[in-house]
Amino acid sequence: MWNKALDQALARLFRIGALEVTYPDGTRRRYGEPGADPVRVTIRDETLPRRLLLTPDMALGEAYMNEQLTLDDDDLRGLLLLALTNRRRGHDPGIMRATGRALTPVQRWLSHNWRAGSKRNVQHHYDLSGALYDLFLDEDRQYSCAYFPEPDMSLEAAQEAKKRHIARKLLIEPGDRVLDIGCGWGGMALTLARDFGARVVGVTLSEEQHRIARERVAQAQLSDRIDIRLQDYREVEGPFERIVSVGMFEHVGATHFREYFAKVAELLSPKGVALIHTIGSSSPPRSTSPWIRKYIFPGGYLPSMSEATRAIEFADLTITDVEVWRMHYAHTLRHWHDRFMANVDKARDLYDERFCRMWRYYLTASEVSFIAERLGNFQFQLSHDKTAVPITRDYLYAD
């Protein structure tokens, strides 16, 4: 029954490209364009067809992790890109589409981040072994979208370009007091203090990041200019001439968007400038991937452009600039994936095969989502005063 139902659903879904599936009973079926070279999948668990129909996002991720679904040449990227491309063209079978719609309000509620839960959610991901992040991040441990003004840039160069692009938008003057919300391992704080003369307060809820960031600040002999705190941003007192937040807004939760921007408005000085850098969607609000929420980012929620700007309006802040990075995160994630796979044996020494397959699925699914869906990175430049920044963007690209 379930094999037949999945067969019918896949026949409706795959119109572009081709997929070949071997079912648990040995039956082999092909879907899509007759002349196309197929992605070949083997289903190795009899319960998987039912789960793929009822909870496709969760079932596919878990099946890959548990080796209940395998691919010729381990072409995970090919499978996910094929599936998302067809779904984007409106070929999503009714049962899968209905499941996603039903989950949307539930997912929004589950992204609600109470203060105690916020720290627990952050620790789930960012307090993993630092050795893991060293396997795929750049030397500065920038765990957010890099900036590729040139497509052949190294990851290190692109991450440095990201920090400097953000610094230009902040228009930092020597001595400015800067708040870094979600400071990570301290890379942005170090750049702003060392290269731009800022005095930085960085806050994080990750004990591992807090420890390492403080060590890096001490090693750089910048303890007099940088204060790294294990603190919720909602507990910080201002004012600050500049506020920066890179890759943290995704963890705020949809029900706290107004609270977040209200706090930014409270902390920002009258002539101050804030730069909020976040993953976001150009589509209407929708649910978070259940698989991502369970295994990678509990409490995470990717805002739509409309949700973010609406919350900014309620904070009575002026949006002085919005920039959308469309493909930069896809490039970043490809770098991370390739570095991780080059070091996968070291990752197995830290964890196990199932964890490594989970991490690879996370990096690959994220990359493909930035290619095939309406995801990107938004940079919101904000101020209380619309004259706080120049009236053209020329200052961003001046040498």
Average pLDDT over residues 17-33: 97
User: Which structural domains are found in the chain, ordered by start?
Assistant: 2-109 (no CATH), 115-397 (3.40.50.150)
pLDDT value at 159 more than 50: yes
Write out pLDDT tens, residues 230-284. 999 999 999 999 999 999 999 999 999 999 999 999 999 999 999 999 999 999 9
Write out pLDDT tens, residues 64-100. 999 999 999 999 999 999 999 999 886 666 444 544 4
Position 118 scores a pLDDT of: 57
Q: Say what the pTM is.
A: 0.91
Position 127 scores a pLDDT of: 57
Dihedral sign from CA coordinates of 180, 182, 188, 193: positive
Task: Please provide the average confidence, as pLDDT, over all residues in the chain.
Answer: 92
Return the closest-CA partner of residue 143 out of 185, 181, 175: 185
Query: How far is 395 from 368, CA to CA, in rounded Å?
Result: 33
Q: Looking at per-residue confidence, does 364 or 127 come out higher?
A: 364
Residue 198 contacts residue 213 (beta carbons within 8 Å): no
Percentage of the chain exceeding pLDDT 70: 90
Position 130 scores a pLDDT of: 84
Query: Quick one: tokens of 150?
Result: 């040139």
Average pLDDT over residues 333-360: 97
Query: Quick one: tokens of 217?
Result: 């600040």
Query: Quick one: tokens of 153?
Result: 């840039």
Query: Quick one: tokens of 350?
Result: 């830290």
Position 104 scores a pLDDT of: 45
Average pLDDT over residues 156-185: 98
At 169 the three-state DSSP class reads: helix
Position 112 scores a pLDDT of: 52
Query: How far is 7 from 386, CA to CA, in rounded Å?
Result: 57
Residue 318 backbone dihedrals phi, psi, to 5 degrees: -95, 130
Give exposure, 344-371, as e/b (b: 16+ Cβ within 10 Å). Answer: beebeeeeeeebbbbbbbbbbbbbbbbb
Position 289 scores a pLDDT of: 92
Dihedral sign from CA coordinates of 98, 99, 100, 106: positive
Residue 196 contacts residue 174 (beta carbons within 8 Å): yes
